Amino acid sequence: MSEGMKDLLAPLKRLQFVPREKLRANDYNPNRVTKENLRLLKQSILMNGWTLPIVVRPDYTIIDGFHRWTVSGDPELHDRLGGVVPVVIVDHQGDRAADMYGTITHNRARGTHLLEPMKKIVQELLDSGKTIQEISKQLGMKPEEVFRLSRFSREEFLEILTQHQQQYSKARVYMEM
């Protein structure tokens, strides 16, 4: 079959669920993720389910999905997944360069978030009544990041931030005389 006739859906047609322990990291992935983003990835899986399979070579070396594989070892996820992860096998016929290209193109194709569209999303969530705490948790942002993406003044934002928190009375000092 010529390259132009290649079945582009072939990897998905062979989707498998394998024990996560069968997989291993490659030795060249330049992508790094913070612990905070790993927590966000776990939250995403818990909220949305597992949406992207891990891409592996026939020997189960990871081409793409190292961070999904990493968080699948978290005890909560591991138990809920039954110790298995979804994989698709891509066979580059032992061509290490093709494996590397696969890793890099998967990573780079995901892109980055642009500022203006993110501002619009945050504002829409705030306008719909979502709390700053919920937005922070679901988007993996600190409240300060939500503020920077909102159109609120500092004072308005602080008021919104505290309106859902429990109110306490002012402390009073009582002295016996």
Q: Is there a contact between 30 and 43 (Cβ–Cβ < 8 Å)? A: no
Q: Is residue 173 part of a domain?
A: no
Query: 71-127: per-residue pLDDT in tens?
Result: 999 999 999 999 999 999 998 888 888 888 887 777 777 766 678 878 888 888 888
pLDDT tens by residue, 54-84: 999 999 999 999 999 999 999 999 999 999 9
The pLDDT, as a whole number, for residue 58 is 94
Q: What is the pLDDT of residue 1?
A: 47
The domain containing residue 127 runs over which residues?
A: 115-163
The CA–CA distances, whole Å, from 92 to 89, 99, 101, 111, 136 equal: 10, 7, 10, 24, 41
Q: Are residues 70 and 135 in the same domain?
A: no
Task: Name the residue with tokens 């070396």.
Answer: 61
Q: Which residue has the higher pLDDT, 177 or 33?
A: 33
Residues 63 and 127 in one domain: no
Q: Looking at residues 151-155, what average pLDDT do you find?
A: 78
Residues 26 and 88 placed together within one structural domain of the fold = yes
Euclidean distance between CA atoms 128 and 131, whole angstroms: 9
